[in-house]
Amino acid sequence: MEGTGSVGVVETNYFTFARPPHEMVLESGERLGPITLAYETYGRLDQNRSNAILVLHALSGDAHAAGVHRGDKGAGWWDAMIGPGRALDTDRYFVICSNVLGGCRGSTGPSSKNPDTGEPYGLDFPIISIKDMVEAQRHLIDHLGIETLLSVIGGSSGGMQALQWMASYPERIRSAIPIATTLRHSPQQIALSEVGRQAIMSDPDWKSGSYHLHAPPARGLAIARMVGHITYMSDTSMKGKFGRRLRGARKPAKFSPEFEVEGYLEYRGSNFVKRFDANSYLYITKAMDHFDAAGPGDGAKVFLGIKAKVLVLAFKSDWLYPPYQSQEIVEACMSAGVDVTYCEIQSDYGHDAFLLEIEEESDLVRNFLDKVFNANEAVTERPRRRRAHRLRGGEGTPA
Torsion of CA 259, 265, 267, 273, to 10 degrees: -160
Q: Quick check: 156 and 351 in contact, CB under 8 A?
A: yes
Catalytic choice (318, 347, 348, 352): 318
Three-class SS state of 380: helix
Q: How many CA atoms lie within 13 A of 269 on its CB side?
A: 22
How does DSSP classify residue 393?
I
Q: What is the pLDDT of residue 2?
A: 46
Active-site residue flag, 205: no
Cβ 325 vs Cβ 209: under 8 Å: no
H helix or E strand, kind and range, residue 388 = helix 358-390
Q: Find the mean pLDDT for residues 271-288.
A: 98
pLDDT of residue 227: 97
pLDDT tier, 295 (very low <50, low <70, confident <90, very high otherwise): confident
Q: Which of 71-75, 104-108, 145-149, 185-189 has the lowest mean pLDDT?
A: 71-75
- d(CA 147, CA 272) in angstroms, rounded, equals 37
pLDDT tens figures, 44-59: 999 999 999 999 999 9
Q: What distance in Å separates the CA atoms of residue 282 and residue 209, rounded to the nearest whole number?
A: 10
Q: Cβ distance 94 to 54 under 8 Å?
A: no
Torsion, Cα 178 183 188 191, to 10 degrees, reads: 90
Q: What per-residue confidence (pLDDT) applies to 73?
A: 81
pLDDT at 220: 98
Strand 340-345 vs strand 309-315: parallel, antiparallel, or unpaired?
parallel
Q: Are 313 and 347 in contact (CB under 8 A)?
A: no
pLDDT number for residue 296: 72
Name residue 343's beta-bridge partners.
313
Q: 201-213, pLDDT tens digit by residue?
A: 999 999 999 999 9
Query: What is the predicted pLDDT for the residue at 345?
Result: 98
| Domain boundaries 9-184+292-395, corresponding CATH code | 3.40.50.1820
Contact 220, 204 (CB under 8 A): no
3-state secondary structure of 184: strand
- List the domain boundaries for the chain: 9-184+292-395, 185-290
**Out of 3.40.50.20, 1.10.1740.110, 3.40.50.170, 3.40.250.10, which CATH number does the structure's domain 185-290 have?**
1.10.1740.110
Q: What is the pLDDT of residue 396?
A: 33
How many residues are listed for the chain in this entry? Answer: 399
Residue 335 annotated in active site = no
What percent of the chain shows pLDDT beyond 70? Answer: 93
- Predicted pLDDT at 391: 29
Q: If you average pLDDT over residues 250-273, what whole number do you get?
A: 91
Query: 221: helix, coil or strand?
Result: helix
Q: Provide φ and ψ at 155, rounded to 5°.
A: -115, 155
Q: Which pLDDT does position 380 carry in this prediction?
A: 61
Among the residues of 29-114, which ranges form H helices? none
318 among known catalytic residues? yes
What Rg do the C-alpha atoms of the chain give, in angstroms?
22
Tell me, rounded to whole angstroms, the distance of Cα 248 from its chain centroid: 38
- Residues ≥6 apart with Cβ < 8 Å to 121: 109, 110, 111, 112, 113, 114
Alpha-carbon span 186 to 190, nearest angstrom: 6
One-letter amino acid of 207: K
From CA 312, how far away is CA 303, in angstroms rounded?
14
Active-site option among 6, 50, 129, 156 = 156
The DSSP secondary structure of 245-303, one letter per residue, reads: -BS-SSPPPTTS--BHHHHHHHHHHHHHHHH--HHHHHHHHHHHHH-BTTTTS-HHHHH
CA 303/CA 309 separation, integer angstroms:
12
Q: Please tell me which residue in 111, 326, 351, 352 is annotated as part of the active site.
A: 351
As a whole number, mean pLDDT of residues 321-345 equals 97
Work out whether strand 13-17 and strand 340-345 pair parallel, antiparallel, or are unpaired. Answer: unpaired
In sequence order, the 6+-apart residues with CB closer than 8 A to the CB of 192 are 227, 231, 320
Please give the single-letter amino acid code of residue 347: S
Cis ω before 217 (30° cut-off from 0): no
pLDDT tens, position by position, 109-154: 999 999 999 999 999 999 999 999 999 999 999 999 999 999 999 9
- Which pLDDT belongs to residue 20? 97
* Predicted local distance difference test score (pLDDT) of residue 399: 28
Instruction: Work out the angle at residue 160's Cα, subtended by the Cα atoms of residues 198 and 113, and round it to the nearest 5 degrees.
Output: 60
What is the rounded CA–CA span in Å between residue 23 and residue 287? 20
176-202 tens-digit pLDDT: 999 999 999 999 999 999 999 999 999
What does the mean pLDDT of the chain come to?
A: 93
